Structure formats: structure tokens, C-alpha cells
Amino acid sequence: MTIASIDTTARVSPETVLSVVIPTYNERGNVAELIRRLDRTLTGVAWEAIFVDDNSPDGTADALKAISRSDPRVRCIRRVGRRGLAGACIEGILSSSAAYVAVMDADLQHDETVLPAMLAKLQSGQFDLVAATRYVDGGDASSFSASRGKISRLATKITQRVLGTELSDPMSGFFMMRRASFDEMAPRLSPVGFKILLDIATASEGLRITEQAYSFGERFDGESKFSMQVGLEFLGLLLSKLSNGLLDPRFIFFAIVGATGIAVNLLVLNLALIAWPLSFQFAKTIATGFAMTSNFILNNSLTYRDRRLKGLGLLRGFIGFCLFGAIGAFTDIGLANQLYAHHELWWVAGLAGSIVGVLWNYAMSSMFIWRTR
Ligand code: GDD
Ligand code: MN
């Protein structure tokens, strides 16, 4: 059958106007209730829900597919071998063909009853993005624990200072936007981390932004996935934005991990020399081995968290990481020697060698070990 012969008049449901994208990880107990509430709130709107589940061990995807068999408005994209809130949102939005897309959490902390008001703001044609905010009159974040509330407010202040964003709640994961605006900026967004709204709001100039107050509720079921790591990823995103997008957040993590490797190397070298009367060469070999291993583990759980290697792949990755690392070290030393022979400025030669070494390791790790490109 050719495309032209499809009978479009046979379409039963009206064109979808709003896609609600919902990232999930272990949210089995929340999804049915969320769909019920969306259905109750979005009367008169042709909506659909696109869940993006990262292969949750609690069977969230199965629960969703059971629902979508009888409710065609509900769809579940199951991603395997990947993790990450921002990346999940990006893929969900990209799969939509509606005029407007919203992103919200699955745990019912984001008040779905403000969705119609957000949609009306976009449909007025005056705005490209509506950010739901806890930090204006009418908004509320009192359900946060005291410590989490403090972290959230501090991060908000830092972000506003550093990036000069006008968002009152840049850490929010609740917003709605014109899909056309998103499509245009999608290639520039980072799949790492939690802070997709901040990334979007700062990714393109001239985006017309407005806000919608809401009150942040209690989690309905299950547990939060917020962690130390999420905080670190956020720092990476900030630094990346500070460099005007020149440095990829992933590269920033790779470089930070590399710096911790130097510390590990020196520490182990020192311990090995004190503990046993080892030859320097032997002690240095052990220290480098330790540093390589800790670099690999940290990169696997932080820099490339969304593509984490496991089992046999982990072993294969480690061997490759060491081999590429050895080539990188040779390149570094070779280049530094060359430069030093010509110019005799030791630090320029040393620095140039190291930079090329780090870039090499990063490129090889991204291409062949964790395969992000
Ligand atoms: N697909 C996928 N993959 N989803 C994820 C992942 C992941 O790796 N990690 C978390 N999620 C989903 C959760 O299942 C939930 O639906 C949503 O992302 C938010 O995760 P929570 O664990 O509930 O985070 P939180 O409540 O601590 O923080 C959220 O609310 C804050 C206030 O709006 C996040 O949205 C923050 O970005 C936001 O600041
Ligand atoms: Mn939550």
C-alpha cells in the first residue's frame, strides 16, 4: 500500500493536541493513578500520555502496557541499557507529533490540575514555554523535607546567579512547551542528569517563557531517585552552560575523574613506598594500576552512567580502557618530548601533551568503550 492510498477520513479519534511525557523508574504503584487524574483533568483536550521507562525492575513497563492495551491514549517506550531522567524526557518528546508537549513526574508530586491553564497560555500564541514553579505566589514546596528544601533553594540561587536565568524555579521538572520549539533545539540538549528544564530554557535565545504556580505535593508511592550523583550531574550541567556549551557535561566529568585519578596515583605511590621497600618502578606501576581502575569505575558510574557497562561488557570495557589509556600516555609523552626538544618551555610541552592525552582518552572512551556516538 502506498502512503497516498491511506484513507485519512477513517480516523476515529481527533488529532492529538497535547502529549504528556512522563519519565519512569520504579513507579509501578503510581502510573494508574496518574492516568486516572490526567483523564479527570484534561476533559475536552485531545491528549496522550507517553511514558518513558528505563527498564524498571519493578515492572512499570508491563503495568503500562497492560493499561495501553485498552486505552490507546497511553503509550510506553521501554528503553534498555540506558538510564537518565533528561534523556528519557528528550526521547519521549521527540516521539510526539502533537502541537504541545508537557513533561511531568510520575509520582504525583507535580499537580496535574494546572495543565489546562498551562495549555491555555501556550495556545494564546504569546509563549513557547510554560514552566511550573513552586517559588512564586500561589506556589508551594513545603512537602520537601527540611534538608532537601535547603538543597533545592541553594541550587536555585546558584543557578540564577551563574546563568542569569529568569526562571524562579529552574530546578523544576514540570513544564509544557510548543513541540516545534523543542524540535529545533533538541540536538543541543544534554541527556545527562535531572535538570531538563534548565537545559531547555538556556539552550536557545529568544524563547518566550512564562510561569505557572503550583504546589509541590507528596510522593504517592515508591521512592525518590534523587541522589548525590544527581547533584554532581547538575554541577556538570552548570559548568557546561558556563563554558557557553563549549564543554560537554560528559567531558567535564571525564576531566574531573581524571583529576581524581592523579590524586589516587600519588596517594597509592606514597603508601606503596612507605609500606614496603619497593623499587620506585614497581610502586609506580601499582599506583598507575589503581588509578586506571578507579578512573574506570568512576567513569562507568558517573560520566557514562546512562550507558553503564555490566558483566562481561564491564571486563571488555576495562581492558579496552587500559589499552587506549596506554596509547594515550604514549601520545602524551611523545608529543611533550617533541615540543620540549623544539621550545624548551617545560610546562607548555607538558600541558600540551596532557591535553592531547585527555582528549584522546575521552574520544576513545566515548566512541569505543561506552559508545555514546
Ligand atoms: N526513565 C527514567 N530514568 N526516569 C527516571 C529516572 C531515570 O533514570 N530517574 C528518575 N526518573 C523519574 C522518576 O520515576 C519520576 O517519575 C521522575 O523521574 C522524578 O524522579 P523523583 O525520584 O521523583 O525525583 P524528585 O522528586 O526527587 O525530584 C523531581 O522533582 C523536582 C521538583 O520538581 C525532579 O523532577 C526534579 O528535577 C525536580 O526538581
Ligand atoms: Mn518525585
* DSSP string over 197-241: HHHHHHHSTT--EEEEE-B-----SS-----HHHHHHHHHHHHHH
Helix (H, G, I), strand (E, B) or coil at 22: strand
Whole-number pLDDT of residue 8:
53
pLDDT digits (tens, 9 = 90+) for 107-123: 999 999 999 999 999 99
Judged by its nearest atom, the ligand closest to the C-alpha of residue 105 is 1
What is residue 76's three-state secondary structure?
A: strand
Beta carbon of 78 within 6 Å of any ligand 1 atom: no
pLDDT score recorded for residue 366: 93
Nearest atom, ligand 1, residue 196 CA: 37
- The pTM (predicted TM-score) of the whole model is 0.76
Is the C-beta atom of 194 inside 6 A of ligand 1?
Answer: yes
Supply the pLDDT for residue 353.
82
Residue 112 Cα distances to 104, 184, 195, 217, angstroms: 8, 27, 19, 11
Give the tens place of pLDDT for each residue, 162-197: 777 888 998 889 999 999 999 999 998 988 777 899
Q: Which atom of ligand 1 is nearest to the CA of 171?
A: 39
For ligand 1, say whether the CB of 153 is within 6 Å of any of its atoms. no
Q: Whose CA is nearest to atom 21 of ligand 1?
A: 224
CA–CA gap between residue 286 and residue 261 (Å, rounded): 13
Residue closest by Cα to atom 33 of ligand 1? 172
Q: Whose CA is nearest to atom 6 of ligand 1?
A: 85
Q: DSSP state, 367?
A: I
pLDDT in the model for residue 290:
93
Positions in the chain whose pLDDT score sits under 50: 1
User: What pLDDT, on the 0 to 100 scale, is given for residue 127?
Assistant: 97
